[in-house]
Amino acid sequence: MQVWTVANQKGGVGKTTTSVALGSLAAGGGSRVLLLDLDPHGSMSCYFRQNPDTVTRSCFNLFRDRQALDPAVVSRQVIETAYDNLHLLPASTALATLERKAIGPDGAGLVVAGALAHIADMYDLVIIDTPPLLGVLMINALAACQRLVIPVQTEFLALKGLERMVHTLEMMSRSRRGGIDYTIVPTLFDRRTQASVGSLRSIRNTYGERVWPGRIPIDTKFRDASKAGVPPHILAPQSRGVRAYQSLRKWLSQAPRDLSPACGV
Ligand code: ADP
Ligand code: MG
């Protein structure tokens, strides 16, 4: 089982869209996929018509029952979506209560990693969508993944937010055995605007090989898909946005490139 986390401390950069697109494309290709929504706002859960205010199965239960987590407890939180091979572990708004707690030496940062270890045989790929702030939930998501995808909106100030995220990774790598293999994904690219073109250039200049060579264009089909609650590739298989996510998925599925960990131990 591979675990990919999608994270950025900034909101509105395409984290949820990227999680849904990558996960549903992989499921469409035959992989057994679990989408895990760790954002208390629950956008990914809402996408699949689960209400984070009222869900009874959710990630929150993993934290609540963490002393007695076993495979049955974990798989009981999972919901089947209407799509083959695509399961969802929804968020609950109750997750927000965890963010306020300070992380201590009691293993609170390893709840998700521990839960996923119990169901490792059931899935080929787990994709974790995260909230836009560094707290217990983000730390859990970073501790559980082998691969981190950082969507960055191509706009002015993109680099500022990215610096913060990379700094977070450096802090995290101190509490992991290895560095995190991360990939920066330029999103919401509009080739007609100077802001998009200029910021893409500076992201590439600064982060070099850490940046996926493609980019995700602005494509209104993503909003339509989210409104309809349908994976983007089913709503608009030939759209530019879907094709871009297809090539991103292929690229991420390849073996990790021979890069020295940018924030390794
Ligand atoms: P985040 O999870 O980082 O907050 P979202 O994935 O929810 O970001 O995206 C924010 C908004 O932008 C949503 O309404 C989403 O439908 C829209 N969006 C995301 N990516 C694109 C894109 N490539 N083109 C057009 N709209 C997009
Ligand atoms: Mg989101």
This model of the complex carries an ipTM of 0.99
CA distances (Å), origin 112, targets 23, 107, 120, 246: 18, 10, 12, 27
Q: How far is the CA of 19 from the centre of ligand 2 (A)?
A: 9
What are the tens digits of pLDDT across the range 163-215? 988 888 877 777 666 678 899 999 999 999 999 999 999 999 999 999 999 99
Look at residue 121 in the predicted model and tell me its pLDDT. Answer: 97
pLDDT tens column, 80-94: 999 999 999 999 999
The span from the CA of 191 to the CA of 198, in Å, is 10
- Residue 139 falls within a domain, yes or no? yes
Both structure tokens of 5: 């986390």
Q: Tell the residue nearest (CA) to atom 16 of ligand 1.
A: 223
State pLDDT tens for residues 107-152.
789 999 999 999 999 999 999 999 998 889 999 999 999 999 999 9
Place of tokens 């982060």: 207
Return the ligand 1 atom nearest residue 223 CA: 16
Please name the residue whose Cα sits nearest to atom 20 of ligand 1: 14
Residue 24 has pLDDT above 50, yes or no: yes
**How many distinct structural domains can be found in the chain?**
1
264 within a domain of the structure (yes/no): no
* Helical axes 158-173 vs 194-207, angle rounded to 10°: 30
Q: Is residue 109 part of a domain?
A: yes
Ligand 1 centroid to Cα of residue 221, in Å, is: 10
User: Assign residue 78 a region: left if phi > 0, alpha if psi is -120 to 50, beta otherwise?
Assistant: beta
Residue 259 lies in a domain: no
* Residue at 257 is within a domain: no
- Global pTM reads 0.94
In this structure, the chain runs to a length of 265
Q: How far is the CA of 179 from the centre of ligand 2 (A)?
A: 25
For residue 263, is it within any domain? no
CATH code of 203's domain: 3.40.50.300
Query: Does the beta carbon of 19 lie inside 6 Å of ligand 1?
Result: no
Instruction: Domain of residue 228: give its range.
Output: 2-252
Ligand 1 neighbourhood includes 237 CB (under 6 angstroms): no
Q: Is 12 in the pocket of ligand 1 (CB under 6 A)?
A: yes
Q: Whose CA is nearest to atom 22 of ligand 1?
A: 218
Helix, strand or coil for residue 133? coil
* 45: CB partners within 8 A, 6+ apart: 37, 51, 52, 55, 58, 88, 90, 91
Is residue 74, in this structure, part of any structural domain at all? yes
Report CA(13)–ligand 2 centroid distance (Å).
8
CA distance 186 to 213: 9
| For the CA of 220, the nearest atom of ligand 1 | 25
| Atom in ligand 1 nearest the alpha carbon of residue 8 | 3
Q: Where are the alpha helices (DSSP H) in the chain?
A: 15-28, 43-47, 59-64, 71-76, 96-99, 111-118, 136-144, 158-173, 194-207, 221-228, 232-235, 240-253
Within a domain: 212: yes
Residue 86, amino acid: L
Rg (the chain; Cα; Å): 17
16 lines ligand 1 (CB under 6 A): yes
Cβ(15) – ligand 1 distance below 6 Å = yes
Taking the alpha carbons of 218, 237, 227, 90 in that order, is the dihedral positive or negative? negative
